[in-house]
Amino acid sequence: AQRVTQPEKLLSVFKGAPVELKCNYSYSGSPELFWYVQYSRQRLQLLLRHISRESIKGFTADLNKGETSFHLKKPFAQEEDSAMYYCALSGPGNTPLVFGKGTRLSVIA
């Protein structure tokens, strides 16, 4: 079964502190992993995906197949990073995304 687990509902950090949002997944095969972000009153938007291995807004995420994890990291949190973050996976091709429950990140000045 496909499953995405985000263990933290809420994560509060001080500005300038490192951030790690945890994501573990369950999937038989080779999934595509994504991080989506939802800022207040805005639609979901892609933050990054494992296949591109890029850094967006200072965030990175490495797919660890051994630990079935795709944790999101940023070395220095900014206030504008406060948002809801969703980890998601999908199978290959035009298949729907399965979302974790989301983690609300609150960056405190």
In sequence order, the 6+-apart residues with CB closer than 8 A to the CB of 92 are: 30, 32
CA–chain centroid gap for 88, Å, is 7
Q: What is the smallest separation between the CB atom of 81 and other proteins, expressed in angstroms?
A: 19
Q: Select from 18-26, 28-36, 53-61, 65-73 the region that touches other proteins (CB under 8 A).
A: 28-36
Q: Should residue 62 be labelled a site residue for other proteins when binding is judged by CB under 8 A? A: no
Q: Should residue 57 be labelled a site residue for other proteins when binding is judged by CB under 8 A? A: no
- Alpha carbons 76 and 104: distance in angstroms, whole number: 17
CA dihedral of residues 86, 38, 72, 12 (deg, nearest 10):
-100
Identify which of residues 66 and 93 has a Cβ nearer to other proteins in the complex. Answer: 93
Identify which of residues 72 and 75 has a Cβ nearer to other proteins in the complex. Answer: 72
Identify which of residues 49 and 71 has a Cβ nearer to other proteins in the complex. Answer: 49
